[in-house]
Amino acid sequence: MDQSRRKFLKIAGLSALGLGAKPAVDALAQGAPGKFELNPKALKAKRWAMVVDVRKFRESGSGEEAMQRCIKACHTVHNVPDFPNPKDAVKWLWTEPLGNAFPSLEGQVLHHYVEERLKGLPVLILCNHCDNPPCVRVCPTKATFRREDGIVMMDYHRCIGCRYCMAACPFGARSLNWRDPRPFIKTKLNREYPTRMRGVVEKCDFCAERLAKGIMPACVEACKNKELVFGDLEDPNSEVRELLRTNFAIRRKPQLGTRPQVYYIV
Amino acid sequence: MFDSWKIVIGILIFLGLVTFPIWYSKGKAGPPPKLELPKKEKKCVESTAYMASSHMQLLDLWRNAVVRDNDRFYVNAEGKKYLMSLELTCMKCHTSREQFCDRCHNYLDVTPICWDCHIQPGLKLPGRSK
Protein backbone atom coordinates (compact mmCIF):
# COMPACT_ATOMS: atom_id res chain seq x y z
CA MET A 1 0.00 0.00 0.00
CA ASP A 2 2.74 2.39 1.03
CA GLN A 3 4.74 1.56 -2.04
CA SER A 4 1.87 2.20 -4.43
CA ARG A 5 0.97 5.49 -2.77
CA ARG A 6 4.57 6.58 -3.10
CA LYS A 7 4.55 5.67 -6.78
CA PHE A 8 1.24 7.46 -7.31
CA LEU A 9 2.56 10.65 -5.75
CA LYS A 10 5.72 10.50 -7.84
CA ILE A 11 3.78 10.10 -11.07
CA ALA A 12 1.26 12.77 -10.07
CA GLY A 13 4.06 15.19 -9.25
CA LEU A 14 5.89 14.59 -12.49
CA SER A 15 2.76 14.97 -14.60
CA ALA A 16 1.82 18.19 -12.81
CA LEU A 17 5.31 19.51 -13.50
CA GLY A 18 5.06 18.49 -17.14
CA LEU A 19 1.66 20.08 -17.64
CA GLY A 20 2.71 23.24 -15.84
CA ALA A 21 5.98 23.56 -17.72
CA LYS A 22 4.53 23.19 -21.20
CA PRO A 23 2.99 26.69 -21.53
CA ALA A 24 6.14 28.23 -20.07
CA VAL A 25 8.40 26.36 -22.51
CA ASP A 26 6.09 27.21 -25.41
CA ALA A 27 6.15 30.89 -24.51
CA LEU A 28 9.94 30.93 -24.30
CA ALA A 29 10.48 28.94 -27.49
CA GLN A 30 8.29 31.29 -29.53
CA GLY A 31 10.52 33.00 -32.05
CA ALA A 32 9.93 36.01 -34.22
CA PRO A 33 7.92 35.52 -37.42
CA GLY A 34 10.77 37.05 -39.40
CA LYS A 35 14.52 36.61 -39.62
CA PHE A 36 17.51 38.53 -38.29
CA GLU A 37 20.30 39.69 -40.54
CA LEU A 38 23.71 41.27 -40.21
CA ASN A 39 24.27 44.60 -41.88
CA PRO A 40 26.16 43.67 -45.05
CA LYS A 41 28.05 46.98 -44.83
CA ALA A 42 29.31 46.28 -41.29
CA LEU A 43 33.03 46.32 -40.63
CA LYS A 44 34.17 42.84 -39.66
CA ALA A 45 37.31 41.53 -38.02
CA LYS A 46 38.57 38.45 -36.27
CA ARG A 47 40.12 40.49 -33.48
CA TRP A 48 39.56 44.22 -33.14
CA ALA A 49 42.41 46.13 -31.54
CA MET A 50 43.58 49.69 -31.18
CA VAL A 51 46.99 51.29 -31.34
CA VAL A 52 47.48 54.60 -29.54
CA ASP A 53 50.45 56.43 -30.95
CA VAL A 54 51.51 58.58 -28.02
CA ARG A 55 54.37 60.06 -30.07
CA LYS A 56 51.97 61.33 -32.72
CA PHE A 57 49.95 63.17 -30.09
CA ARG A 58 53.19 64.91 -29.12
CA GLU A 59 54.04 65.67 -32.76
CA SER A 60 50.64 67.13 -33.57
CA GLY A 61 51.63 70.28 -31.74
CA SER A 62 49.01 70.52 -29.07
CA GLY A 63 48.57 66.87 -28.09
CA GLU A 64 46.30 67.75 -25.23
CA GLU A 65 43.89 69.44 -27.60
CA ALA A 66 43.84 66.45 -29.94
CA MET A 67 43.07 64.14 -27.02
CA GLN A 68 40.26 66.38 -25.84
CA ARG A 69 38.85 66.35 -29.36
CA CYS A 70 38.77 62.53 -29.32
CA ILE A 71 37.14 62.49 -25.90
CA LYS A 72 34.53 65.00 -26.96
CA ALA A 73 33.72 63.02 -30.10
CA CYS A 74 33.25 59.85 -28.05
CA HIS A 75 31.17 61.47 -25.34
CA THR A 76 28.94 63.27 -27.84
CA VAL A 77 28.21 60.14 -29.84
CA HIS A 78 27.38 58.08 -26.76
CA ASN A 79 25.59 60.69 -24.62
CA VAL A 80 28.16 60.25 -21.85
CA PRO A 81 27.23 62.34 -18.79
CA ASP A 82 29.65 64.77 -17.19
CA PHE A 83 29.16 64.69 -13.43
CA PRO A 84 30.70 67.59 -11.50
CA ASN A 85 31.79 65.35 -8.61
CA PRO A 86 34.89 63.37 -9.64
CA LYS A 87 33.69 60.47 -7.48
CA ASP A 88 30.67 60.10 -9.81
CA ALA A 89 32.70 60.49 -13.00
CA VAL A 90 31.64 58.35 -15.95
CA LYS A 91 34.61 57.55 -18.18
CA TRP A 92 34.70 56.02 -21.63
CA LEU A 93 37.80 57.73 -22.92
CA TRP A 94 40.01 59.84 -20.67
CA THR A 95 43.61 60.76 -19.94
CA GLU A 96 46.07 59.73 -17.24
CA PRO A 97 49.67 60.78 -16.59
CA LEU A 98 52.13 58.32 -18.11
CA GLY A 99 53.20 56.94 -14.73
CA ASN A 100 49.61 56.26 -13.67
CA ALA A 101 48.74 54.57 -16.94
CA PHE A 102 51.75 52.22 -16.75
CA PRO A 103 52.60 51.95 -13.05
CA SER A 104 54.65 48.76 -13.40
CA LEU A 105 56.76 50.15 -16.25
CA GLU A 106 57.52 53.47 -14.66
CA GLY A 107 61.24 53.84 -14.06
CA GLN A 108 61.93 50.77 -16.19
CA VAL A 109 60.86 50.86 -19.84
CA LEU A 110 59.40 54.31 -19.19
CA HIS A 111 62.44 55.88 -17.63
CA HIS A 112 62.92 59.55 -16.97
CA TYR A 113 64.09 60.30 -20.49
CA VAL A 114 61.00 58.80 -22.13
CA GLU A 115 58.87 61.06 -19.99
CA GLU A 116 61.07 63.96 -20.98
CA ARG A 117 60.62 63.07 -24.64
CA LEU A 118 56.84 62.97 -24.23
CA LYS A 119 56.99 66.40 -22.56
CA GLY A 120 54.75 65.38 -19.69
CA LEU A 121 51.84 64.64 -21.98
CA PRO A 122 49.14 62.45 -20.51
CA VAL A 123 48.07 59.19 -22.18
CA LEU A 124 44.67 58.48 -23.69
CA ILE A 125 42.99 55.65 -21.76
CA LEU A 126 40.02 53.47 -22.67
CA CYS A 127 38.70 49.97 -22.09
CA ASN A 128 41.38 47.50 -23.17
CA HIS A 129 38.92 44.93 -24.54
CA CYS A 130 41.02 42.22 -22.96
CA ASP A 131 41.29 38.77 -24.46
CA ASN A 132 40.85 37.38 -20.96
CA PRO A 133 38.45 39.91 -19.48
CA PRO A 134 38.00 39.61 -15.70
CA CYS A 135 34.87 41.80 -15.84
CA VAL A 136 33.13 39.21 -18.02
CA ARG A 137 34.09 36.39 -15.71
CA VAL A 138 32.59 38.01 -12.63
CA CYS A 139 29.40 39.44 -14.16
CA PRO A 140 26.54 37.50 -12.55
CA THR A 141 23.98 38.35 -15.25
CA LYS A 142 26.17 38.10 -18.36
CA ALA A 143 25.40 41.78 -18.96
CA THR A 144 29.00 42.17 -20.08
CA PHE A 145 30.31 39.61 -22.51
CA ARG A 146 33.08 39.08 -25.01
CA ARG A 147 32.05 39.04 -28.62
CA GLU A 148 33.57 36.70 -31.21
CA ASP A 149 35.51 39.62 -32.66
CA GLY A 150 37.03 40.48 -29.28
CA ILE A 151 34.87 43.44 -28.31
CA VAL A 152 33.91 43.36 -24.64
CA MET A 153 30.31 44.51 -24.90
CA MET A 154 27.83 45.84 -22.40
CA ASP A 155 24.18 44.83 -22.50
CA TYR A 156 22.71 47.66 -20.47
CA HIS A 157 19.35 45.90 -20.41
CA ARG A 158 20.80 43.19 -18.24
CA CYS A 159 23.04 45.19 -15.93
CA ILE A 160 21.85 45.15 -12.32
CA GLY A 161 24.50 47.57 -11.07
CA CYS A 162 26.27 45.15 -8.72
CA ARG A 163 29.67 46.64 -9.70
CA TYR A 164 31.54 43.31 -9.56
CA CYS A 165 32.97 44.20 -12.97
CA MET A 166 34.27 47.49 -11.64
CA ALA A 167 36.05 45.68 -8.84
CA ALA A 168 37.43 43.12 -11.28
CA CYS A 169 38.70 45.55 -13.92
CA PRO A 170 42.30 46.50 -13.12
CA PHE A 171 42.17 49.47 -15.49
CA GLY A 172 39.29 51.44 -13.97
CA ALA A 173 37.60 51.37 -17.34
CA ARG A 174 34.09 50.93 -15.95
CA SER A 175 31.85 53.53 -14.33
CA LEU A 176 28.59 53.28 -12.48
CA ASN A 177 25.84 55.82 -12.89
CA TRP A 178 25.29 56.65 -9.25
CA ARG A 179 22.61 59.14 -10.25
CA ASP A 180 20.30 59.64 -13.21
CA PRO A 181 22.77 60.68 -15.92
CA ARG A 182 20.32 62.59 -18.11
CA PRO A 183 20.53 66.01 -16.42
CA PHE A 184 24.33 65.79 -16.66
CA ILE A 185 24.66 65.25 -20.39
CA LYS A 186 26.51 68.39 -21.40
CA THR A 187 27.12 67.52 -25.04
CA LYS A 188 24.54 67.82 -27.80
CA LEU A 189 22.09 64.96 -27.33
CA ASN A 190 22.54 62.18 -29.89
CA ARG A 191 18.99 61.02 -30.44
CA GLU A 192 20.06 57.88 -32.27
CA TYR A 193 21.86 56.44 -29.25
CA PRO A 194 20.27 55.74 -25.85
CA THR A 195 21.38 57.26 -22.59
CA ARG A 196 21.86 55.11 -19.52
CA MET A 197 19.81 55.01 -16.33
CA ARG A 198 20.74 55.15 -12.67
CA GLY A 199 22.44 52.01 -11.38
CA VAL A 200 23.94 50.84 -14.66
CA VAL A 201 27.63 50.36 -15.40
CA GLU A 202 28.95 51.74 -18.68
CA LYS A 203 32.20 51.75 -20.62
CA CYS A 204 33.78 52.04 -24.05
CA ASP A 205 32.53 49.38 -26.47
CA PHE A 206 34.82 50.17 -29.41
CA CYS A 207 31.80 51.88 -31.01
CA ALA A 208 30.13 48.55 -31.80
CA GLU A 209 27.08 50.42 -33.14
CA ARG A 210 29.25 52.39 -35.57
CA LEU A 211 31.18 49.32 -36.74
CA ALA A 212 27.81 47.70 -37.45
CA LYS A 213 27.04 50.66 -39.73
CA GLY A 214 30.37 50.37 -41.49
CA ILE A 215 32.11 53.37 -39.94
CA MET A 216 35.18 53.62 -37.72
CA PRO A 217 34.97 54.43 -33.99
CA ALA A 218 34.28 58.07 -33.16
CA CYS A 219 37.63 58.70 -31.45
CA VAL A 220 39.56 57.23 -34.39
CA GLU A 221 37.61 59.41 -36.79
CA ALA A 222 38.29 62.50 -34.66
CA CYS A 223 42.06 61.94 -34.82
CA LYS A 224 43.20 63.60 -38.01
CA ASN A 225 46.88 62.54 -37.82
CA LYS A 226 46.21 58.85 -37.20
CA GLU A 227 47.13 59.11 -33.54
CA LEU A 228 44.63 56.32 -32.98
CA VAL A 229 44.58 53.37 -35.35
CA PHE A 230 41.91 50.72 -35.23
CA GLY A 231 41.90 47.42 -37.07
CA ASP A 232 42.03 43.67 -37.23
CA LEU A 233 44.90 42.15 -35.28
CA GLU A 234 44.49 38.78 -36.98
CA ASP A 235 44.92 40.26 -40.43
CA PRO A 236 48.69 40.45 -41.15
CA ASN A 237 48.15 43.23 -43.70
CA SER A 238 46.14 45.48 -41.43
CA GLU A 239 47.32 48.90 -40.37
CA VAL A 240 47.52 47.94 -36.70
CA ARG A 241 49.73 44.96 -37.48
CA GLU A 242 51.99 47.12 -39.61
CA LEU A 243 52.36 49.63 -36.77
CA LEU A 244 53.06 46.90 -34.23
CA ARG A 245 55.59 45.28 -36.59
CA THR A 246 57.55 48.46 -37.11
CA ASN A 247 57.29 50.00 -33.64
CA PHE A 248 57.88 49.09 -30.04
CA ALA A 249 54.51 49.06 -28.29
CA ILE A 250 53.53 48.49 -24.68
CA ARG A 251 50.28 47.50 -23.01
CA ARG A 252 48.82 48.43 -19.67
CA LYS A 253 49.53 46.02 -16.80
CA PRO A 254 50.28 42.99 -19.00
CA GLN A 255 51.61 41.07 -16.00
CA LEU A 256 48.03 40.64 -14.74
CA GLY A 257 47.31 38.26 -17.61
CA THR A 258 44.17 39.93 -18.91
CA ARG A 259 45.82 40.31 -22.36
CA PRO A 260 44.79 43.89 -23.14
CA GLN A 261 44.28 44.71 -26.82
CA VAL A 262 45.00 48.41 -26.76
CA TYR A 263 48.63 49.00 -27.64
CA TYR A 264 50.63 52.14 -26.88
CA ILE A 265 53.55 53.31 -28.97
CA VAL A 266 55.74 55.47 -26.77
CA MET B 1 -21.66 24.84 14.69
CA PHE B 2 -21.71 27.85 16.96
CA ASP B 3 -22.44 31.33 15.69
CA SER B 4 -22.98 30.14 12.15
CA TRP B 5 -25.05 33.22 11.28
CA LYS B 6 -22.13 35.46 12.23
CA ILE B 7 -19.83 33.47 10.02
CA VAL B 8 -22.24 33.48 7.09
CA ILE B 9 -22.72 37.26 7.34
CA GLY B 10 -18.98 37.70 7.58
CA ILE B 11 -18.42 35.60 4.47
CA LEU B 12 -21.11 37.55 2.59
CA ILE B 13 -19.54 40.90 3.52
CA PHE B 14 -16.12 39.58 2.54
CA LEU B 15 -17.38 38.35 -0.85
CA GLY B 16 -19.15 41.64 -1.42
CA LEU B 17 -15.97 43.61 -0.80
CA VAL B 18 -13.76 41.32 -2.88
CA THR B 19 -16.09 41.44 -5.89
CA PHE B 20 -16.59 45.20 -5.53
CA PRO B 21 -14.71 46.12 -8.76
CA ILE B 22 -16.88 43.69 -10.77
CA TRP B 23 -20.33 44.71 -9.64
CA TYR B 24 -19.47 48.37 -9.28
CA SER B 25 -18.67 48.66 -13.00
CA LYS B 26 -21.63 46.35 -13.72
CA GLY B 27 -19.51 44.05 -15.86
CA LYS B 28 -18.61 46.84 -18.30
CA ALA B 29 -14.96 47.63 -18.86
CA GLY B 30 -13.73 51.19 -19.20
CA PRO B 31 -13.58 52.49 -22.78
CA PRO B 32 -10.44 51.17 -24.51
CA PRO B 33 -7.91 53.84 -25.40
CA LYS B 34 -7.81 55.36 -28.89
CA LEU B 35 -4.34 55.17 -30.36
CA GLU B 36 -2.90 57.81 -32.64
CA LEU B 37 -1.93 55.75 -35.70
CA PRO B 38 0.71 56.84 -38.20
CA LYS B 39 -0.71 58.67 -41.18
CA LYS B 40 1.89 57.98 -43.84
CA GLU B 41 2.44 54.27 -43.15
CA LYS B 42 -0.34 51.69 -43.27
CA LYS B 43 1.53 48.52 -42.31
CA CYS B 44 3.71 47.90 -39.28
CA VAL B 45 6.71 45.57 -39.19
CA GLU B 46 4.38 42.59 -38.73
CA SER B 47 0.58 42.22 -38.92
CA THR B 48 -1.47 44.50 -36.69
CA ALA B 49 -2.84 41.56 -34.69
CA TYR B 50 0.65 40.23 -34.01
CA MET B 51 1.99 43.67 -33.08
CA ALA B 52 -0.91 44.31 -30.72
CA SER B 53 -0.50 40.99 -28.92
CA SER B 54 3.24 40.36 -29.14
CA HIS B 55 5.16 43.61 -29.74
CA MET B 56 6.90 43.17 -26.40
CA GLN B 57 8.23 39.74 -27.35
CA LEU B 58 9.33 41.07 -30.74
CA LEU B 59 11.13 44.04 -29.15
CA ASP B 60 12.79 41.69 -26.69
CA LEU B 61 14.02 39.47 -29.54
CA TRP B 62 15.19 42.57 -31.39
CA ARG B 63 17.25 43.87 -28.52
CA ASN B 64 18.93 40.50 -28.00
CA ALA B 65 19.62 40.19 -31.71
CA VAL B 66 21.15 43.68 -31.87
CA VAL B 67 23.13 43.77 -28.65
CA ARG B 68 24.22 40.18 -28.30
CA ASP B 69 24.41 38.85 -31.87
CA ASN B 70 25.16 42.12 -33.68
CA ASP B 71 22.33 41.47 -36.16
CA ARG B 72 20.97 44.87 -37.15
CA PHE B 73 18.26 44.05 -39.68
CA TYR B 74 14.94 42.31 -39.40
CA VAL B 75 13.34 40.67 -42.42
CA ASN B 76 9.63 40.23 -41.74
CA ALA B 77 7.36 37.40 -42.83
CA GLU B 78 6.74 39.20 -46.15
CA GLY B 79 10.45 39.67 -46.82
CA LYS B 80 10.58 43.40 -46.12
CA LYS B 81 13.74 44.60 -44.37
CA TYR B 82 13.81 46.90 -41.35
CA LEU B 83 16.57 48.32 -39.18
CA MET B 84 16.03 47.01 -35.64
CA SER B 85 15.88 50.20 -33.65
CA LEU B 86 13.31 51.67 -31.31
CA GLU B 87 14.37 55.25 -32.01
CA LEU B 88 15.11 54.94 -35.73
CA THR B 89 12.39 52.54 -36.86
CA CYS B 90 9.42 52.30 -34.47
CA MET B 91 9.32 55.94 -33.42
CA LYS B 92 9.80 57.26 -36.95
CA CYS B 93 6.19 56.23 -37.68
CA HIS B 94 4.75 56.23 -34.16
CA THR B 95 6.00 59.72 -33.57
CA SER B 96 4.53 60.25 -30.13
CA ARG B 97 5.15 58.22 -27.02
CA GLU B 98 2.23 59.87 -25.22
CA GLN B 99 -0.32 59.31 -27.97
CA PHE B 100 0.70 55.77 -28.81
CA CYS B 101 2.72 53.79 -26.25
CA ASP B 102 1.48 55.44 -23.09
CA ARG B 103 -2.23 55.38 -23.90
CA CYS B 104 -2.37 51.61 -23.95
CA HIS B 105 0.21 51.07 -21.23
CA ASN B 106 -1.57 53.43 -18.86
CA TYR B 107 -4.91 51.77 -19.60
CA LEU B 108 -3.45 48.36 -18.78
CA ASP B 109 -1.35 49.74 -15.92
CA VAL B 110 1.95 48.43 -17.23
CA THR B 111 5.15 50.46 -16.93
CA PRO B 112 7.83 49.29 -19.35
CA ILE B 113 11.21 50.89 -18.68
CA CYS B 114 12.18 51.51 -22.32
CA TRP B 115 12.31 55.29 -21.99
CA ASP B 116 14.62 55.31 -18.99
CA CYS B 117 17.43 54.97 -21.53
CA HIS B 118 15.98 55.13 -25.04
CA ILE B 119 15.23 58.65 -26.16
CA GLN B 120 11.61 59.30 -27.00
CA PRO B 121 10.81 61.69 -29.86
CA GLY B 122 10.90 65.29 -28.72
CA LEU B 123 12.54 64.54 -25.36
CA LYS B 124 13.87 67.62 -23.62
CA LEU B 125 16.65 67.01 -21.15
CA PRO B 126 16.02 68.54 -17.73
CA GLY B 127 17.59 71.96 -17.38
CA ARG B 128 18.16 72.48 -21.08
CA SER B 129 16.38 74.33 -23.83
CA LYS B 130 17.03 71.72 -26.54
pLDDT in tens, A45-103: 999 999 999 888 877 666 788 899 999 999 999 999 999 999 999 999 999 988 889 98
Query: Phi, psi at residue B81, to the nearest 5°?
Result: -105, 135
Q: How confident is residue A216, by pLDDT bands cut at 50, 70 and 90? A: very high
Measured CA to CA, the distance from residue A226 to residue A228 in angstroms comes to 5
Nearest residue of A to residue B124, measured between CA atoms: A189
Res. B28 pLDDT band, cuts 50 70 90? confident
Burial of A224 (0-12, 13-18, 19+ CB in 10 A): exposed
ipTM value of the model?
0.82
- Residue of B32, B62, B33, B66 lying closest to B45 (CA atoms): B62
pLDDT score of A167 more than 80: yes
Residue range A11-45, pLDDT digits in tens: 999 988 888 887 777 766 667 788 898 888 999 99
d(CA B38, CA B27): 33
* Dihedral sign (CA B76, B82, B88, B91): negative
Average pLDDT of the residues of chain A: 91
**Do B73 and A182 count as a contact with CB atoms less than 8 A apart?**
no
pLDDT tens digit sequence for B107-119? 999 999 999 999 9
Backbone angles phi and psi of A130, in degrees to 5? -60, 150
B65 contacts in A (CB within 8 Å)?
36
- Share of residues in chain A with pLDDT > 90 (%): 68
Q: Which residues of A146-167 are buried (b: 16+ CB within 10 A; e: fewer)?
A: bbebbbbbbbbbbbeebebbbe
pLDDT at res. A231:
96
Could you give the count of Cα atoms lying within 13 Å of A142 in the half-sphere of its Cβ? 5
Rounded to a whole number, what is the distance in Å from the CA of A2 to chain B's nearest CA? 36
Tell me the CA distances in angstroms from A243 to A215, A236, A248, A264, one per residue in order: 21, 11, 9, 10
Q: State CA A222 to chain mean position distance.
A: 18
Under an 8 A CB cutoff, do B71 and A156 touch? no
pTM above 0.90, yes or no: no
Q: Tell me, what's the pLDDT at B27? A: 66
Q: CB under 8 Å to B66, separation ≥6 — which residues?
A: B72, B84, B85
Q: Do residues A59 and A36 touch, judged by C-beta distance below 8 A?
A: no
